[in-house]
A and B are shown apart, each in its own frame.
Chain A
Amino acid sequence: MTVRLRGRIGLHVLLMAAALAWLAPLLWAVFTAFRPYDDTQKHGYLSWPKSLTFSNFTSAWSQAQFPGYFRNTVLVAVPGVLITLLFAAAVAFVVSRFSFWWNIPLLLLFTAGNLLPQQVIITPLYRLYLDVPGLGSGSGKMYDTLLGLVLIHVAFQSGFSTFVLANYMKTIPHELTEAALVDGAGVARQFFQIILPLCRPPLAALATLLSIWIYNDFFWAIVLISTGSKMPITSALNNLVGNYFTNDNLLAAGALMTALPTLIIYFLLQRQFISGLTLGSGKG
Chain B
Amino acid sequence: MSVRRAPSARPSPDHGPSALWTPSRRALLAGAAAAAAGPLLAACGSSSGGSGGGGSSSKTVTLGSNGSDAVPKKAYAALWAAAGKSTGDTLKVNVKQHENFQNQINSYLQGTPDDVFTWFAGYRMQFFAKQGLASPIDDVWQTIGSHFTPAIQALSKGLDGKYYFVPLYYYPWAIWYRKSVFKQHGYTIPANWDQFTALLKKMKGDGLVPLAFGNQNQWPVMGTFDQINFRLNGYQFHVDLMHGKESWTDARVKKTFDMWASIMPYHQQGAAGRKTEDATGFVRDKKAGMIVAGAGTAVQQFTTDPAALADLDFFPFPEITPQWGMDTVEAPCDGFMMSKSPKNKTGATKVLEFFGSPAGEKAYLDLDSSELAAAKDFDNAKNTALQKKEAALITGAKNLTQFMDRDGNPTFVSTVMIPALADFVRSPNTFAATKLSNIEAQKKSIYASS
Contact = CB atoms under 8 A, between A and B. Distances in A.
A and B touch in the complex (CB under 8 A): yes
Interface string A138-152: 111111100100010
Nearest to B281: A41
Nearest to A239: B97
Contacts of B69: 242-245
A213 B110 CA distance: 29
Nearest to B301: A245
B275 interface: yes
Contacts of B275: 246
Interface residues of A, number: 37
Contact of B44 (A130, A134, A245): A134
A133 interface: yes
Interface of A: 41, 63, 126-135, 137-144, 147, 151, 222-223, 226-229, 236, 238-239, 241-246
B39 to A, nearest CB: 11
A225 to B, nearest CB: 9
Contacts of B26: 131
Interface in B385-419: none
Interface of B: 17-18, 20-21, 26, 29-30, 33-34, 37, 40-41, 43-48, 51-52, 68-72, 94-100, 103-104, 107-108, 110-113, 217, 275, 277-278, 281, 296-297, 300-301, 343
Say whether chain B's binding surface is mostly helix, strand, loop, or mixed: helix
The residue in A223, A227, A245 that gathers the most chain B C-beta atoms within 10 A of its C-beta is A245
Given A229-B94, A245-B301, A246-B277, A133 B112 contact: no
A140 B103 CA distance: 23
B20 A226 contact: no
A132 B94 CA distance: 23
Contacts, number: 126
Nearest to A63: B70
A243 B98 contact: yes
Contacts of B40: 135, 147, 151
Say whether chain A's binding surface is mostly helix, strand, loop, or mixed: loop
A130 B94 contact: no
A151 B37 contact: yes
Nearest to A129: B111
B46 A137 contact: no
B46 A227 contact: no
B17 A245 contact: no
Given A131-B21, A228-B97, A141 B111 contact: yes
Contacts of B281: 41
A185 B33 CA distance: 31
Given A131-B48, A133-B41, A229-B94, A143 B33 contact: no
B51 to A, nearest CB: 6
Contacts of B41: 133-135
A137 B112 contact: yes
A233 to B, nearest CB: 13
A264 to B, nearest CB: 26
A245 B48 contact: no
Nearest to A143: B111
Contacts of A131: 17-18, 20-21, 26, 29-30, 48
A130 B110 contact: yes
